[in-house]
């Protein structure tokens, strides 16, 4: 999540201008730094200490990015990816107006490709996440673990309490601008388009973060990252600079929007089931399984633009409320973000600036978006 050791002078819409105490946002997970001597609601002192220790190991292992690029021991593929990352960071700053601070000016080689394990949980009979409270950032619907064993133990405990759970890995993080986030070796396995998208996505958190509004923060970053990748590879006028990557970036953004619309429809039907007071918890869970089966049958023979690779992947995996809510955080109303972009003349920099200026003035930042429904 973010780190900036020497915050630069920035405008009123930035994270650092708000003087938010140092927090760790790890791959979409918010974790308090142990050194703050804060604890989160429901977090043990051991958990807090481990979170802080994991972050400090990452920071301690940093090397200046230029040093790694110029090191003769760096293999050519790694050097090429690092150069691309440096270009993406520069584009985010100068092309999109994002506040990057010193993030991604260094590199950390991790021991594995997995940065952390992200655990989320939800109630079985309704679309409501279990949350944990952290200082300043408020309630968030996930916790991060540096140890798979610790994450698995916490998952088992939540399942024993009757929750749906979802445990996944992550390979990227942001500290919201309070430290100089390094580029992690785990990101270098991404293809070029996803690498650029991820860097812009994480820097979007540096630029705009609304405490307690996880779904907006992540969907906003998804929008900026995906459209930013299009602008990076296609050029501001939409003409290809790197034709294959340009086309890939465009197709992935269309794929994301299609999945977002699908989720909206699916969730609407699921909420009708959950809102039926005559159904027991067990009956609601069975009705959810029946709904998923109906959608699987419907999309088995579907073709674009009705379907997308994300929809097919979603329908091919086990579903519970925790997995569903996890996807909702990153894919909420993406087509409406596109409408907002269109309303700003297709200028992503202007759209980001407009949302940044007003996102904290309203109870729900999604109110700022036009509705395509």
Distances (CA, A) of 63 to 58, 69, 319: 11, 10, 41
Is position 191 within any domain? yes
Distance CA 317, CA 83 (A): 36
The DSSP H or E segment spanning 57 is helix 45-60
pLDDT tens figures, 306-327: 557 888 888 888 889 999 999 9
Distances in Å between the Cα of 110 and the Cα atoms of 85, 220, 227, 308, 354 are 17, 28, 29, 33, 37
- Count the residues in the chain: 373
What is the domain extent for residue 80?
A: 16-368
| pLDDT at residue 306, as a whole number | 56
Q: How far apart are CA 178 and CA 19, in angstroms?
A: 9
Range with top average pLDDT, 15-19, 28-32, 50-54, 221-225: 221-225
- Reference 8, options 101, 90, 91; nearest CA is 101
What is the tens place of the pLDDT at every residue in 147-166? 899 999 999 999 999 999 99
Does the pLDDT at position 46 exceed 70? no
Residue 10 covered by a domain:
no
Please say if the pLDDT value at position 124 is more than 90: yes
Q: How far apart are CA 320 and CA 314, in angstroms?
A: 11
**Mean pLDDT of all residues in 197-222:** 93
Could you give the CA distance from residue 10 to residue 102 in angstroms, rounded to a whole number? 13
Per-residue pLDDT at 137 exceeds 90: no
The pairing of beta strand 116-122 with beta strand 106-108? unpaired
Q: In angstroms, rounded to a whole number, what is the distance separating the alpha carbons of residues 119 and 152?
A: 9
Residue 32 lies in a domain: yes
Domain membership flag for residue 105: yes
Domain contains 131: yes
pLDDT in tens, 6-34: 323 233 333 333 333 333 444 333 333 43
In this predicted structure, the answer to whether residue 63 has a pLDDT above a threshold of 80 is: yes
Q: 176: Cβ–Cβ under 8 A, 6 or more apart, which residues?
A: 1, 2, 15, 20, 23, 25, 205, 206, 209
First to last CA, the chain: 33
Residue 242 lies in a domain: yes
List of E strands, the chain: 23-26, 29-32, 63-64, 106-108, 116-122, 132-134, 138-140, 143-145, 164-170, 183-184
- Report the chain's mean pLDDT, rounded to a whole number: 82
Show the tokens assigned to 219.
């969907």
Helix (H, G, I), strand (E, B) or coil at 305: coil
Residue 348, both tokens: 């992503």
How far, in Å, CA of 172 to CA of 180, rounded? 14
For 334-343, what is each residue's pLDDT tens digit? Answer: 999 999 999 9
Quote the number of domains for the chain. 1
Asked if residue 3 is part of any domain, the answer here is no
Tell me the whole-structure pTM to 2 decimals: 0.83
Residue 240 within any structural domain of the chain: yes
Question: To 10 degrees, what angle do helices 243-274 and 334-343 make?
Answer: 130
């Amino acid at each position: 999540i973010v780190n900036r050791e020497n915050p630069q002078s920035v405008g009123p819409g930035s994270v650092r201008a708000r003087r938010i105490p140092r927090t760790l946002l790890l791959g979409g997970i918010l974790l308090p730094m142990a050194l703050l001597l804060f604890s989160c609601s429901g977090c043990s002192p051991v958990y807090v200490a481990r979170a802080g220790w994991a972050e400090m190991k990452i920071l301690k292992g940093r090397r200046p990015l230029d040093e790694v690029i110029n090191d003769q021991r760096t293999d050519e593929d790694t050097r090429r990816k690092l150069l691309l990352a440096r270009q993406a960071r520069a584009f985010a700053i100068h092309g999109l107006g994002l506040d990057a601070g010193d993030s991604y000016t260094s590199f950390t080689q991790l021991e594995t490709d997995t940065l952390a394990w992200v655990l989320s949980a939800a109630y079985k009979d309704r679309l409501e996440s279990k949350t944990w409270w952290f200082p300043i950032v408020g309630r968030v619907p996930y916790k991060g673990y540096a140890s798979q064993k610790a994450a698995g133990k916490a998952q088992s405990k939540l399942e024993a309490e009757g929750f749906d759970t979802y445990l996944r890995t992550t390979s990227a993080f942001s500290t919201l601008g309070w430290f100089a986030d390094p580029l992690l070796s785990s990101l270098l396995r991404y293809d070029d388009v996803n690498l650029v998208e991820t860097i812009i996505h994480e820097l979007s958190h540096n630029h705009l973060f609304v405490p307690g509004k996880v779904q907006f923060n992540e969907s906003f970053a998804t929008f900026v990252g995906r459209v930013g990748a299009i602008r990076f590879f296609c050029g501001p006028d939409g003409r290809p600079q790197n034709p294959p990557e340009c086309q890939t970036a465009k197709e992935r953004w269309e794929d994301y929007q299609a999945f977002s619309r699908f989720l909206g429809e699916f969730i609407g039907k699921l909420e009708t089931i959950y809102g039926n007071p005559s159904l027991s918890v067990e009956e609601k869970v069975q009705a959810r399984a029946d709904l998923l089966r109906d959608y699987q049958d419907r999309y088995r023979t579907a073709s674009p633009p009705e379907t997308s690779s994300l929809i097919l992947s979603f329908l091919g995996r086990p579903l519970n409320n925790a997995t569903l809510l996890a996807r909702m955080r990153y894919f909420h109303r993406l087509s409406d973000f596109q409408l907002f972009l269109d309303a700003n003349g297709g200028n992503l920099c202007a759209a980001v600036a407009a949302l940044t200026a007003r996102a904290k003035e309203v109870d729900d930042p999604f109110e700022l978006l036009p509705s395509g429904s």
